[in-house]
Amino acid sequence: MRNREELAYSRALVPKYNTLYKVIIAILIVVIIALLLIYFGVIKPHLSSNNSGDKAVLNSNLLSELNYDDISYEREIGKTQMKIDYIDNCTYSISYPEIGVEEIDEKVLEHARTLKTAFLSEYQNSEENANTFQQHIDYKSFLEDDNTMKLTFVEILSKNEEEHVSKKEYTYVYDLLTGEELKADIIFVSGDNTNEFTPLNSEITEDFLILYSGDIIKFALTNVNIREHPNTNSNKIGLLEEGEAIEVRSGDENWDVVVYDNQTGYVKAGYLSRKRLLHKDIELEVVERGIDPSKPMVAITFDDGPNPKSTPRILDTLEKYGVVATFFDLGQLVNSYPNIVRREEAIGCEVGNHSYSHKNFNTLTDEQIQEEMRNSENAFIKALGHKTVLFRPPYGNANLKVKENVEYPIIKWNVDSLDWKSRNKNKILAQIRQISNYDGHIILLHSIYGTTADAVETLVPELLNKGYQLVTVSELAFYKGHTSLKTAIDYNSF
Ligand code: ZN
């Protein structure tokens, strides 16, 4: 039996015990929720999108060992480590992540060392050693998907603490499961049913292609020969087809050094690009006017007009023989002489865009190219009520940057009359007469010279007598089997 005091004590304790239980249960619930949050919030998402069971288990084990200490927007993965040192006139500070996967950590450290060594070998005890040099390396790290991480080293070199020398970024990609360093050709996979390469991750952009040791995946801009030596007459070791990807090791301004079929080869500079060009189809609209596709045809083209003196003379000749040609006109002259451009179209000729002010597009910035095109398009729309289908770049110059910025098929030529050079009727004709078969050809002339207008008076009946149908560029393409032309592609003939 308990005495009264004990009973009173135990009674008094009952509510106290109840409160304690509640507190303990509440703490347990909080702990369980916290554990569940950690479990589902950190590990579960990496598991959920993974279909392979074994892989998922392996992956979750791996990820649980990874270091997440420095989670921030730019540093999704890795525990930040740092090395700072001073050697002679050089200072370096390198931040890098420790991931927790031995193979990756070794490689990351190796890359950091390589950058440091390159810096020291260039600047340490250099002739400029009255100066001090600083290397600052920072990093950004991203989890690209369950298995892949991307690391970018940002290297900033400066001189005497304040003078900027350079800023470079180096990006590396690792497979978290295997610890392997991935190359761009592994990052890119074939799309469904097409030969299009599509990045695995939408965030993979251009800088993703700059991979370690300077190897860059480039795409062929056109069919191009891979040669044995940097010599245009050397043996071909292969043909790289347009859009095909190839690894570029190094190169100079004239040649890209590529690896092809386990051989080192050379591709002339300008034929490869880090970006794969997108080609849009531009439909050709051709009015039926009795062209016989089985008979030979040729397209005469006139650049740089309209000119108030010579262009109307050329139009008179074309009208006289009931034939057509293509005029690649300049936007600023179209604004000056809209009636001549309207007459070109009225007699069945094709009008193409030759830019606004005839700048060398290869030397322009993206914005300048777009401005030229915008201004010239506006001029054509104002004069004709519509844009042109075709574009001929001034000087025929259309490098990669131009092709990225101009949404037109690029029409060049394969018969150059050199009329701008000779300014002589007979020389112009002699130049064109060197060709024995014009079928499918595009002849280049300029509508701004009286001598060219003179030559056309002879050239047109001569071509008709030889049995050629004189057609526009769009007609030539159409009757030679193209119902559409692709943007960012050069066409020299059909
Ligand atoms: Zn021109």
Whole-number Å distance, alpha carbon 213 to ligand 1 midpoint, is: 43
User: What mean pLDDT is predicted for residues 258-265?
Assistant: 85
C-alpha of residue 451 to centroid of ligand 1, in Å: 16
CA of 354 to the centre of ligand 1 (A): 7
CA 293 to ligand 1 centroid distance, Å: 30
- Give me ligand 1 centre to Cα 469, in Å: 25
* Residues 231-234: contacts with CB under 8 Å, at least 24 apart: 232/268, 234/266
- Lowest mean pLDDT: which of 32-41, 147-156, 473-482? 32-41
Ligand 1 centroid, distance to 304 Cα (angstroms): 5
CA of 161 to the centre of ligand 1 (A): 50
331 CA distance to ligand 1 middle (Å): 12
The residue ranking higher by pLDDT, 53 or 74, is 74
- pLDDT tier at 298, thresholds 50, 70, 90: very high
Question: Band of the pLDDT at 263, cuts 50, 70, 90?
Answer: confident
Instruction: Specify which of 50-64, 211-225, 262-276 reaches the highest per-range mean pLDDT.
Output: 262-276
- Full-model pTM: 0.54
CA of 365 to the centre of ligand 1 (A): 19
Position 92 confidence tier, pLDDT thresholds 50, 70, 90: confident
Judged against a pLDDT cut of 50, whether residue 160 lies above it is answered with yes
Q: How far apart are CA 186 and CA 173, in angstroms?
A: 10
User: For the ranges 206-215, 302-311, 353-362, which has the lowest average pLDDT?
Assistant: 206-215
Name the band, by pLDDT with cuts 50, 70 and 90, for residue 183: low
Taking a C-beta distance cutoff of 8 angstroms, is the pair 307, 447 a contact? yes
